[in-house]
Chain A
């Protein structure tokens, strides 16, 4: 394949098809192949077909960008390929029907740079994601890649590197936000013949996928940052610990390591200096707790991934008892930029205590879901309503969940607050790894709390009692509340258990596991009370507490619901008002889904009796005019 040289002078064009995991599930491999074939058949000159990693806008996938003009195509299919090739690549006429449509205005937007989802972001970690081919080191080098490493090796001492990273204000993006430079200094100063540098790419938080996208879209940035970190602390061996559920990331990182070795950016005597580093990839084996640093170390050593008490901290006694630094993917991906552009440049973005940008996986009930990178301190409202395009289907915003199972649910009143480490923590949540799940009026907050507890309870490694038994007790209580069997004393009990588990657990898993419950108790207590006292689920979501009814004045007796009902609990007949047998109904909601919109005869209620006939009755004839 020839390399793309986007220059505006001649008519050379490159179409970059996204090959991140999301777009691949939309058949982007096949799209790439079809494009290659069609371009060849047409005999087009000066047209390159290439691919990139994740663009972040997975919801619109599969996506493709035509450079140099920057035309953005959304929801591309193999069937669209002939039109793209003939109309755009051959005749120069972009295919309008594939343009992105703004969810608010409905306007079609041709250029990548004009799409609000992108234009309001500030990309540092994700700067190259979706912009270059992640499987070619030359592409990374062409945009200045590995220049920071060269500069460091040639003219900066490890102490100076540490000092620069300290002054930049970079804090760890793995969740806790510990200052990266200080962490490196501890390890640099620790005494040991062998030191280790570890990249934590376990990303176990459900609802987060930025580390994956960074590794799939720009693996060299992570390797460059890691190599600079290893130089600063004095490590000659490194490990990247990637979760096994990410096969594509594993593949691209392995390839990148091999390419970096070939170019002399890894291995012995890097770039002719005295510094050597060998990086190994370790695949996780499906245990969330292995993201915790001491558990991760145990897992690399081949043991069960169970945390141990700290101190000693890994900086003094880490892998095989040697001084070790563990950093998150995003923390490391930021380092080359800080070296390149300087500490002042980096520190000029963000708030006083939280510098730089943060990456969020914006998902859930939101129009534009995907990966975003925004300056620290941005108001939440801007993320949700401007970048995210608001809540789809005219639904009302209810909460946003940040920090995954360690974080909390924040209510509408938080929308105008700044998003940074301090303000999220003050609200009872945390930055965590950057999941940001938006919830609307149909999401039940008690169920969300139950969901997270079922996750942490299952993932608790079992070593310490508060986490192992405490989370189980909390989950049991939440389950009975969702089933309508909650008791008034459950609320104070949950509160008390939550605080004790936080205080008594060995590692971060247990210390943060109660957060989803405590924050929902704090901001959405009325929902707990409705479940317990009125046996009512205000979001109409908990199956045990809802019922479906067919409204006699709306039902036209079409019979679709009765045919589709999986438990055959709907009685009816032609032109008869249908009736649901409440005893037999399993509340699956199929009838509501299939009832034709023009009838909208089925309603969902909670703790409410609706007056309907007990047996099917004939449909009342409507006056002619109304029926038309």
Chain B
């Protein structure tokens, strides 16, 4: 069982936002995944309170919403950090040393893959393949892709984003 986050969103916050999201949909069961995607985009995760609202809107049991949310890797039940860092572990990246890049990123951020830093600045994940295999090994920070990574380049790439703030 994946635990739900203890968050400090108020019920009203969630309801207001979801009302706006629901206005883009008809309330068909097939809309569940797009609704979850939009919810996640807004909150950077799927809050427990949102699942309840979605269940009501689609007239489905809340357990189904939870089941779908946990099935797909895209949906997070705990808040993501401000920056989402992903190290690609595709085949091409693997044979060109992705695990070393990952180890270096873990070392520099002080968190392991799958974790979020305590200050909610970073979330580190691995991703199965981002499809930029010719530039292996690769990593992404939010929507930026960084190719031909080396352990040495890690500091530069991570520094790149902290400066951009």
Establish whether residues B36 and A363, one from each chain, have CB atoms under 8 Å apart when the complex forms: no
Closest to A447 in B: B94
Please give, as numbers and ranges, the residues of chain B lying within 8 Å of A459 by CB-CB distance: 128
Establish whether residues B144 and A25, one from each chain, have CB atoms under 8 Å apart when the complex forms: yes
Interface stretch (choices B3-11, B13-21, B77-85, B131-139): B131-139
Nearest-neighbour CB distance to chain A for B37, whole angstroms, equals 6
A302 at interface by CB-CB < 8 Å? yes
1/0 per residue, CB under 8 A from A, across B68-103: the answer is 100111110000000000000111101110001001
Interface stretch (choices A191-199, A223-231, A283-291): A283-291
What number of residue pairs across chains A and B have CB atoms under 8 A from each other?
146
Closest to B133 in A: A363
Closest to A209 in B: B131
A299 at interface by CB-CB < 8 Å? yes
Nearest-neighbour CB distance to chain B for A582, whole angstroms, equals 20
Establish whether residues A209 and B133, one from each chain, have CB atoms under 8 Å apart when the complex forms: yes
1/0 per residue, CB under 8 A from A, across B27-38: the answer is 011111110110
Partner of B71 from the list A58, A305, A448, A593 (CB cut-off 8 Å) is A305
What CA separation (Å) do A580 and B134 show in the bound complex? 36
1/0 per residue, CB under 8 A from B, across A28-62: the answer is 00000000000000000000000000000111010
Please give, as numbers and ranges, the residues of chain B lying within 8 Å of A304 by CB-CB distance: 67-68, 71-72
B145 at interface by CB-CB < 8 Å? yes
A245 at interface by CB-CB < 8 Å? yes
Closest to B138 in A: A25
Q: Given A206-B91, A283-B37, A305-B72, verify A22-B143 contact (CB < 8 Å).
A: no
Closest to B67 in A: A304
Closest to A543 in B: B99
What CA separation (Å) do A129 and B31 show in the bound complex? 33
B146 at interface by CB-CB < 8 Å? yes
Q: Given A21-B145, A303-B68, verify A206-B129 contact (CB < 8 Å).
A: yes
Please give, as numbers and ranges, the residues of chain B lying within 8 Å of A590 by CB-CB distance: 151
A252 at interface by CB-CB < 8 Å? no
Partner of B129 from the list A22, A205, A300 (CB cut-off 8 Å) is A205
Establish whether residues B74 and A286, one from each chain, have CB atoms under 8 Å apart when the complex forms: yes
Partner of A364 from the list B89, B92, B132 (CB cut-off 8 Å) is B92
Closest to B127 in A: A245
Partner of A206 from the list B73, B90, B103, B134 (CB cut-off 8 Å) is B90
What CA separation (Å) do A404 and B91 show in the bound complex? 8
- Choose among A207, A246, A301, A369 the residue with the greatest number of B CB atoms under 10 Å from its CB: A207
Closest to B58 in A: A302
B24 at interface by CB-CB < 8 Å? no
Partner of A285 from the list B36, B91, B127, B135 (CB cut-off 8 Å) is B36
Within 8 A of B (CB), among A552-590: 566, 588-590
A356 at interface by CB-CB < 8 Å? no
Establish whether residues B128 and A24, one from each chain, have CB atoms under 8 Å apart when the complex forms: no
- Choose among A209, A246, A282, A435 the residue with the greatest number of B CB atoms under 10 Å from its CB: A209
Establish whether residues A363 and B92, one from each chain, have CB atoms under 8 Å apart when the complex forms: yes
1/0 per residue, CB under 8 A from B, across A528-539: the answer is 000000000000
Establish whether residues A246 and B92, one from each chain, have CB atoms under 8 Å apart when the complex forms: no
Please give, as numbers and ranges, the residues of chain B lying within 8 Å of A362 by CB-CB distance: 134
Q: Given A25-B147, A203-B131, verify A589-B100 contact (CB < 8 Å).
A: yes
What CA separation (Å) do A382 and B66 show in the bound complex? 51
A208 at interface by CB-CB < 8 Å? yes
Establish whether residues B134 and A59, one from each chain, have CB atoms under 8 Å apart when the complex forms: yes
Q: Given A209-B132, A212-B131, verify A364-B91 contact (CB < 8 Å).
A: yes
Nearest-neighbour CB distance to chain A for B15, whole angstroms, equals 22
Please give, as numbers and ranges, the residues of chain B lying within 8 Å of A439 by CB-CB distance: 95
Establish whether residues B74 and A244, one from each chain, have CB atoms under 8 Å apart when the complex forms: yes
Q: Given A25-B144, A301-B29, A437-B91, verify A245-B130 contact (CB < 8 Å).
A: yes
Please give, as numbers and ranges, the residues of chain B lying within 8 Å of A22 by CB-CB distance: 132, 134-135, 145, 147
B163 at interface by CB-CB < 8 Å? no
Partner of A365 from the list B95, B127, B135, B146 (CB cut-off 8 Å) is B95
8 closest Cβ pairs, A-B complex: A286-B73, A209-B131, A58-B134, A285-B72, A25-B145, A363-B92, A207-B91, A206-B129
Instruction: List, sorted by A's number, 18 A–B pairs whose CB atoms are closer than 8 Å.
Output: A21-B130, A22-B135, A25-B144, A58-B132, A61-B134, A204-B128, A206-B89, A207-B133, A212-B131, A244-B74, A285-B73, A302-B29, A303-B32, A303-B68, A364-B91, A370-B134, A437-B92, A566-B107
Task: Report which A residues bind B (CB closer than 8 A).
Answer: 21-22, 24-26, 57-59, 61, 203-209, 212, 244-247, 282-288, 299-306, 361-365, 369-371, 401, 404, 435, 437, 439, 443, 448, 451-452, 455, 459, 461, 566, 588-590, 593
